[in-house]
Chain A
Amino acid sequence: MVLKIANWLDERVGWSGVWEAIFLRKIPKVNWFYTLGSATLFTAVNQAVTGILLTLYYVPTPDHAYDSVQYITTQIPMGWLIRGLHHWGASAMVVLTVLHMLRVILLGAYKYPREVTWFTGVFLLLIVVGFGFTGYLLPWDQKAYWGSAVGSSIAGAAPVIGEWVLRVVRGGSDLSAVTLARFYGVHVWVLPASLILLLGIHMYLVIKIGISAVPQREDEA
């Protein structure tokens, strides 16, 4: 019966084709370093899941941000775990993204025919950094406030447009409720949307072209 429904669905949806194309494709034998990409993807999923859960209670205003984070951490069952996973996951994601990139560089995987995959990867790295920067402010504790104050003021050091950039980043010349609101907006809408788009292209290319093989050292001429 289950089989029958599955077949009926497959005839119309065609998932077995997708399954075969993605999961049953053959790829070269690779070592454990090649799991770094998947590991990064896993942390991205972790951030998405825990991040969405956090927004159920979090309120991005100076009046409530700190209290709501404290409420999540101390009052809600498993809140400490959700927030902990998100907090530590952020660090893990940065580390894994960089390690993944190092592997790609050292093993020459950015070369033909995977240049475009590499370009999307560089943008993804910037997005991850952006996540870290905007997310740092959200708990609205001392560390968050002053860290972000210094971090954003660094932008102001740029010549000519520095002052202007600073105002754009902070939504004014001071770190304020506006800053918190826009950091939050960027953190939960702009960056995730960009991430999904680029990650989609990145994954599509990885599956289409296939993962690079472990390079053998040619005999030097």
Chain B
Amino acid sequence: MNDKKKLDRRGFLGFATWAIGGIIGAGFGIPAIAYIIAPAMRKEEEQEWIRLGSASKVELGTPTLFKTKIEKQTGWITNEEEVSVYVLTENGRDFVAMSNICTHLGCRVRWISDQDVFFCPCHNAGFAKNGDVASGPPPRPLDQYQVKEEDGQLFVLGG
């Protein structure tokens, strides 16, 4: 009887020890996980309208390059990034904004007005005026930005 009672006490202590261990483990573990995965849980930064410049700068029928700088916050460091966008309009009202990054391997494309083509120097890829693949290895047309015009200023959605 006595012996059994003692055993019960030991059993309880053993159980309590494990329980406390579990509590402490959770006390460390749960915050640790939250802490570690925090960067992944962070919401993707909201896309913002980036001002490119005056819409009147765009020549009719010729892709025009706009360069603008945006601030990017990574961790505790703020960097400036350059965004380059080709804007094309045929009628001065409807604009198409294309990224200047080749969809093949990410080189920068250039508008060659003599040949009416976006030329990528890395693998001799060519894109037509509207961004469609004209020649070479790219898998898809140039990426397009959502674009709007307000008070004569062009904006693209990005970030």
Contacts and interface: CB of A to CB of B under 8 A. Distances in A.
Interface of A: 46, 49-50, 53, 56-57, 64, 67-68, 70-71, 75-79, 81-82
A56 B31 CA distance: 14
Contacts of A78: 31-32, 34-35, 38
A124 to B, nearest CB: 22
B18 to A, nearest CB: 12
Most chain-A CB neighbours within 10 Å: which of B28, B35, B38, B41? B35
Interface string B19-50: 00000000010011011101001000000000
Contact of A67 (B35, B38, B41, B76): B76
A82 B32 contact: yes
B79 to A, nearest CB: 14
Given A46-B28, A53-B32, 6 more contacts: A50-B28, A57-B75, A76-B35, A79-B35, A79-B38, A82-B32
User: Which 10 pairs, one residue from A and one from B, show the smallest C-beta to C-beta distance?
Assistant: A78-B31, A67-B76, A71-B76, A78-B35, A78-B34, A77-B34, A76-B38, A81-B31, A77-B38, A49-B28
19 contacts: A46-B28, A49-B32, A53-B32, A53-B35, A53-B36, A57-B75, A64-B77, A67-B77, A70-B76, A76-B35, A76-B38, A77-B35, A78-B31, A78-B35, A78-B38, A79-B38, A81-B31, A82-B31, A82-B32
Nearest to B24: A42
Contacts of B35: 53, 56, 76-79, 82
A64 B32 contact: no
B34 A56 contact: no
A116 to B, nearest CB: 29
B128 to A, nearest CB: 45
A64 B77 CA distance: 9
Give chain B's interface residue range (CB within 8 Å of chain A): 10 to 19
A68 B74 CA distance: 11
A50 B77 CA distance: 24
A77 B36 CA distance: 9
Most chain-A CB neighbours within 10 Å: which of B28, B41, B76? B76
Contacts of B34: 77-78
A8 B31 CA distance: 35
Interface in B72-127: 75-77
Contact of A71 (B28, B31, B32, B75): B75
A198 B148 CA distance: 68
Nearest to A69: B76
Nearest to A81: B31
Contacts of B32: 49, 53, 78, 82
A79 B75 CA distance: 14
Contacts of A75: 76
B73 to A, nearest CB: 10
A77 B35 CA distance: 6
B77 to A, nearest CB: 8
Contacts of A81: 31
Given A78-B31, A82-B31, A56 B36 contact: yes
Nearest to B33: A78
Given A53-B35, A82-B35, A68 B28 contact: no
A75 B34 CA distance: 12
B103 to A, nearest CB: 35
B13 to A, nearest CB: 12
Nearest to B75: A71
Contacts of A64: 76-77
